[in-house]
Amino acid sequence: MSSALSPVAGARWADRRTRTLAGLGVALALVAAVVVAGTLAAGPAQVTDLAARHRPPSLDHPFGTDRYGRDLLLRTLVGLRLSLLVGALAALLSGAIALLLALLATAGGRVAAAVVDWLVDLFLALPHLVLLILVAFALGGGTDAVVLAVGLTHWPRLTRVLVSVGRETTAAEYVAVSRALGHGRLHVARRHLAPHLVPHLSVGVVLMFPHAILHEAALSFLGLGVDPGEPAVGVLLADSMRSLSAGHWWLAVLPGLGLLLVVKLVDRVGEDLRLLLDPRSAHL
Amino acid sequence: MGLLSRDRGRLRTAGLRAVRLVSLLVAVAAGCFALMAGSPVDPVEAYVGADTAAIGSEQRAQIEERWGLDEPPLERFGVWAGHVVTGDLGTSQVFGQPVTEVIADRFAASLSLLALAWLLSGVLGFTLGLLAGATRGRLLDRVLTWWAYTLASAPTFWVGLLLLYVFSVSLQWTPVCCAAPLGTLPGEVSLLDRVHHLVLPALTLSVVGISPVLLHTRQATLEVLASDHVAFARAQGERLPGLLLHRVARNAAGPALMLQFASVGELLGGSVLAEQVFTYPGLGEATTTAALRQDVPLLLGIALTTALVVFVGNALGDLAHRVAVPRTREVAA
């Protein structure tokens, strides 16, 4: 029965896997393209042309120009690169914190577990944006402060996931056998826990990325994040509010659309990774 | 005998929860205070503002002494916490009023906005989630699911800007800013005016909460529709609308309600952005102002208030879940 079915199922899975891999490749290539284009555009994005102020989108300027005649497409690309950078740094920082705390909670005994649980609750006690504002304020603002603020506040949910995975793993019988054979906590953590945590961690970090990007943009939009002179997407959108009533719609619509697309791309990368690393979740 | 021990168990869980809640609140207060004390903002400079150069070091020392800034942080925290417990949060430097008054005023303004957005996102999310689940795999389901995922990746303030441009600038159906027409006294604003100014910010804010409720309700609907009791009802001749109304809605309501109450924190965070876009004079806008103009007492007060609101939201969520899903009552005991 199973031998009759498996070739078909196998073929379908291979097909789906290839498709997922292809989608992942395309999404990654696009993200890389945005980063490269943003790096190249850093200089030209600051070039002003007062003769071409507030031009609507055209072939010369696909996204139009702002109040100093600067090309909005270039500025958006620079901003998206910054978003991706901040997102990456913050997601890695939060991922590291989450892993550390999860290991502590699973390998460190009951008191450690209770403390980690309490810490997670503590960081979820304030609305996330209010917490971000407080941390960014305490760090004095600027790009570094935003990276730190976003990176230091995104770990609670991932920690919860990792802790529950860790608990499930350490409760398994083979871990009990391993313990009975005299292996210490370090051995269990490295040989049994890590292989289960790593897939969840990598997927969690990538899926944290969009949140981090959106929170960076929100802080910059409020004027509490990236230096207002720098073309971050949040700053561009905050600027656009000045001339929205004059009908300059492209200043508001297009950078936001760019951000939405980048967020969806990164989200796609995360979902594809999840499908590849944890095929069972595809059926949920 | 058994009843007694169960009661004691319940009392124990309730006690533990209360201890946990209080410990978290104290930790939030201490954490916020530490953040503010550690910030590079000099309270004296923030207070004096542009006249920093005009005051000498002697005057400065006087102010510092009067405010107790020369004392160790732990002692300052003790004094501050003592005031907080008695309901005194200090004076806001930006508004020149007691912090409690500013927060009460602003929160009252935000409350209608938050409530409308909360209702909108809950009702819309639940209804659309039921619809998507009922039409699984068909065009409507795919459109709704795609829409929910896209909304989840869209920045709130950008959605607000789009709505502002379309409805206020292009169509001119709604006002561009504020909570009331410019130039009217607070007492003269009619209810219609208020609602008119509220619609767009509330719509923007509800966007934050729609997608999780929609997606969870869709999932719950799929699960319930696949269950045995629905198959039985189908066999008895119940049609889809009846099934949704009598069998699915109640089962899907529990998780949706819990999610909706747990989203109060997200909603508060979103209100900071929505109020900034529409210059709506609520608590969110006050948060931004306090942070930008370095009004530490107000910022601390807002942090404590929002933490309290989140706690209440979560507690209500648990309660609503228990009411909607009787099974969990037994488990909890």
pLDDT at B332 exceeding the cut of 70: no
Q: Which of B157, B162, B296, B312 to mutate to test the interface with A (most CBs of A within 10 A)?
A: B157
Q: Token digits for A282?
A: 């595809």
A214–B155 C-beta distance less than 8 A = yes
Query: What's the Cα-to-Cα distance from B176 to each of A235, B279, B288, rounded to whole Å?
Result: 20, 9, 19
Predicted local distance difference test score (pLDDT) of residue B118: 92
Please tell me the total count of domains within chain A: 1
Q: What range defines the domain where residue A181 resides?
A: 7-283
ipTM of the complex: 0.83
- State the burial class of residue A183 (Cβ atoms within 10 Å of its Cβ: 0-12, 13-18, 19+): middle
Q: Where is average pLDDT lowest: B42-46, B84-88, B322-326?
A: B42-46
Q: Which domains does chain B have, with CATH numbers?
A: 2-85 (no CATH), 99-332 (1.10.3720.10)
Judged by a CB distance cut-off of 8 A, whether residue A125 touches chain B is yes
What is the pLDDT confidence band of residue B187, given thresholds at 50, 70 and 90?
Answer: low
Q: Which residues pair with A65 in a beta bridge?
A: A71
Of residues A236, A259, A257, the one with CA closest to residue A65: A236
A186 to chain B, minimum CA–CA distance in Å?
A: 31
3-class DSSP state of A71: strand
Judged by a CB distance cut-off of 8 A, whether residue B270 touches chain A is yes
pLDDT at B150 exceeding the cut of 80: yes
Round to whole Å and give the CA distance between A13 and A279: 10
Q: Render pLDDT for A103-116 as a digit per residue (tens, 0 to 9).
A: 888 877 788 888 99
Round to whole Å and give the CA distance between B55 and B96: 21
A91-95, B11-15, B72-76, B205-209: range with highest mean pLDDT: A91-95
Of residues B108, B56, B23, the one with CA closest to residue B305: B108
> What residues contact residue B13 under an 8 Å CB cut-off, 6+ apart?
B332
CB count, 10 Å around CB of B234? 15
CA distance from start to end of chain A: 25
- State the burial class of residue A116 (Cβ atoms within 10 Å of its Cβ: 0-12, 13-18, 19+): buried
- The pTM score is 0.83
3-class DSSP state of A44: helix
DSSP B126-184: HHHHHHHHHTTTSHHHHHHHHHHHHHHHS-HHHHHHHHIIIIIIIS--S-SSSSS-TT-
Round to whole Å and give the CA distance between B158 and B277: 9
Cβ-Cβ pairs closer than 8 A, A with B, add up to 138
Predicted local distance difference test score (pLDDT) of residue B8: 77
Of residues B198, B97, A102, the one with CA closest to residue B89: B97
Residues of A in contact with B292 (CB under 8 A): 222-224
Q: Which contiguous run of DSSP H or E holds residue B9? A: helix B2-38
Predicted local distance difference test score (pLDDT) of residue B168: 81
A151-155, B166-170, B295-299: range with highest mean pLDDT: A151-155
pLDDT at A135 exceeding the cut of 50: yes
Round to whole Å and give the CA distance between B289 and A104: 39
B330 to chain A, minimum CA–CA distance in Å?
A: 24
Predicted local distance difference test score (pLDDT) of residue B280: 86
What is the pLDDT confidence band of residue A101, given thresholds at 50, 70 and 90?
Answer: very high
3-class DSSP state of B206: helix
Judged by a CB distance cut-off of 8 A, whether residue A208 touches chain B is no
| Percentage of chain A modeled with pLDDT above 90 | 14
B2 to chain A, minimum CA–CA distance in Å?
A: 29
Predicted local distance difference test score (pLDDT) of residue A207: 82
Per-residue pLDDT, averaged over A43-72, amounts to 77
What is the pLDDT confidence band of residue B46, given thresholds at 50, 70 and 90?
Answer: low
Residues of B in contact with A222 (CB under 8 A): 272-273, 276, 288, 291-292
Strand locations in B33-72 (E): none
A134–B303 C-beta distance less than 8 A = yes
What is the pLDDT confidence band of residue A279, given thresholds at 50, 70 and 90?
Answer: low
B269 to chain A, minimum CA–CA distance in Å?
A: 5
Residues of A in contact with B165 (CB under 8 A): 244, 249, 252-253
Per-residue pLDDT, averaged over A162-175, amounts to 86
Average pLDDT, chain B: 82
Q: Which contiguous run of DSSP H or E holds residue B315? A: helix B296-324
> What residues contact residue B270 under an 8 Å CB cut-off, 6+ apart?
A129, B117, B156, B204, B205, B208, B209
A178 to chain B, minimum CA–CA distance in Å?
A: 34
Residues of B (99-128) whose Cβ lies below 8 Å from A: none
Per-residue pLDDT, averaged over B133-161, amounts to 88
Judged by a CB distance cut-off of 8 A, whether residue A245 touches chain B is yes
Helices (H), chain A: 2-41, 72-107, 109-123, 128-138, 143-153, 155-170, 173-180, 185-188, 194-222, 233-240, 249-277
Torsion angles phi and psi, residue B65, rounded to 5: -70, -40
Query: What's the Cα-to-Cα distance from B187 to each of A9, A232, B279, rounded to whole Å?
Result: 71, 41, 20
B265–A260 C-beta distance less than 8 A = no
Round to whole Å and give the CA distance between A45 and B66: 50
Is A1 contained in some domain? no
Query: Can you give the CATH number for the domain in which A82 is found?
Result: 1.10.3720.10
Contact indicator for B135, B219 with CB cutoff of 8 Å: no
B24 to chain A, minimum CA–CA distance in Å?
A: 6
Nearest CA in chain A to B264: A127
Residues of A in contact with B277 (CB under 8 A): 241
Predicted local distance difference test score (pLDDT) of residue B52: 63
Round to whole Å and give the CA distance between B126 and B249: 9
A128–B266 C-beta distance less than 8 A = yes
Predicted local distance difference test score (pLDDT) of residue A155: 92
CB count, 10 Å around CB of A197? 23
pLDDT at A72 exceeding the cut of 60: yes
Round to whole Å and give the CA distance between B203 and B245: 26
Q: Render pLDDT for A215-270 as a digit per residue (tens, 0 to 9).
A: 999 999 998 888 877 888 888 888 888 877 777 888 888 888 999 999 988 888 88
B292–A129 C-beta distance less than 8 A = no
Of residues A103, A122, A112, the one with CA closest to residue A163: A103
Average pLDDT, chain A: 83
Predicted local distance difference test score (pLDDT) of residue A95: 93
Predicted local distance difference test score (pLDDT) of residue A4: 45
Round to whole Å and give the CA distance between B208 and B144: 15
Contact indicator for B125, B162 with CB cutoff of 8 Å: no
Judged by a CB distance cut-off of 8 A, whether residue B215 touches chain A is no
In the chain, the amino acid numbered B144 is L
Predicted local distance difference test score (pLDDT) of residue B144: 92
Per-residue pLDDT, averaged over A63-72, amounts to 79
Q: Which of B110, B159, B165, B312 to mutate to test the interface with A (most CBs of A within 10 A)?
A: B165
Contact indicator for B44, B69 with CB cutoff of 8 Å: yes
Residues of A in contact with B287 (CB under 8 A): 130, 133
Residue with tokens 């729609």: B210
A136 to chain B, minimum CA–CA distance in Å?
A: 9
Residues of B in contact with A80 (CB under 8 A): none
What is the pLDDT confidence band of residue B256, given thresholds at 50, 70 and 90?
Answer: confident
What is the pLDDT confidence band of residue B272, given thresholds at 50, 70 and 90?
Answer: very high
Judged by a CB distance cut-off of 8 A, whether residue B32 touches chain A is yes
Q: Render pLDDT for B67-108 as a digit per residue (tens, 0 to 9).
A: 777 777 778 888 888 888 888 888 887 888 888 899 998 998
Residues of B in contact with A128 (CB under 8 A): 265-266, 269
Judged by a CB distance cut-off of 8 A, whether residue A252 touches chain B is yes
What is the pLDDT confidence band of residue B50, given thresholds at 50, 70 and 90?
Answer: low
B310–A223 C-beta distance less than 8 A = no
A124–B306 C-beta distance less than 8 A = no
Contact indicator for B172, A259 with CB cutoff of 8 Å: no
Residues of A in contact with B153 (CB under 8 A): 210, 214, 260, 263-264, 267
3-class DSSP state of B77: helix
Q: Phi/psi class of residue B175: alpha, beta or left (left: φ > 0; alpha: ψ in -120 to 50)?
A: beta
Is A2 contained in some domain? no
Round to whole Å and give the CA distance between A172 and A177: 9
Predicted local distance difference test score (pLDDT) of residue B88: 82
Q: Which residue has the higher pLDDT, B56 or B161?
A: B161
Judged by a CB distance cut-off of 8 A, whether residue A127 touches chain B is yes
Of residues A137, A136, A141, the one with CA closest to residue A229: A141
Predicted local distance difference test score (pLDDT) of residue A50: 74
Of residues A212, A117, A79, the one with CA closest to residue B20: A117
pLDDT at B2 exceeding the cut of 70: no
Q: Render pLDDT for A116-133 as a digit per residue (tens, 0 to 9).
A: 988 998 998 889 999 999
Closest CB to B169 among A224, A247, A260: A247
Per-residue pLDDT, averaged over B19-39, amounts to 84
pLDDT at B188 exceeding the cut of 50: yes
How many CA atoms within 13 Å lie on the side-chain side of B290?
A: 30
Angle at A119 between CA B73 and CA B27, to 5 degrees: 35
| Percentage of chain B modeled with pLDDT above 70 | 89
- State the burial class of residue A121 (Cβ atoms within 10 Å of its Cβ: 0-12, 13-18, 19+): middle
A249–B39 C-beta distance less than 8 A = no
Judged by a CB distance cut-off of 8 A, whether residue A37 touches chain B is no
Round to whole Å and give the CA distance between B106 and B286: 7
B158–A126 C-beta distance less than 8 A = no
> What residues contact residue B96 under an 8 Å CB cut-off, 6+ apart?
none
How many CA atoms within 13 Å lie on the side-chain side of B323?
A: 9
Q: Which residue has the higher pLDDT, B322 or B328?
A: B322
Residues of A in contact with B307 (CB under 8 A): 125-126
Q: Render pLDDT for A20-40 as a digit per residue (tens, 0 to 9).
A: 888 888 888 888 888 888 888
pLDDT at B109 exceeding the cut of 50: yes
Query: What's the Cα-to-Cα distance from B1 to each of B5, B12, B15, rounded to whole Å?
Result: 6, 17, 21
pLDDT at B230 exceeding the cut of 90: no
Per-residue pLDDT, averaged over A36-59, amounts to 78
Per-residue pLDDT, averaged over B228-255, amounts to 82
A122–B24 C-beta distance less than 8 A = yes
Of residues B255, B260, B222, the one with CA closest to residue B322: B255
pLDDT at A283 exceeding the cut of 60: no
Per-residue pLDDT, averaged over B189-203, amounts to 81
Q: Where is average pLDDT lowest: A140-144, A201-205, B67-71, B210-214?
A: B67-71
CB count, 10 Å around CB of A62? 14
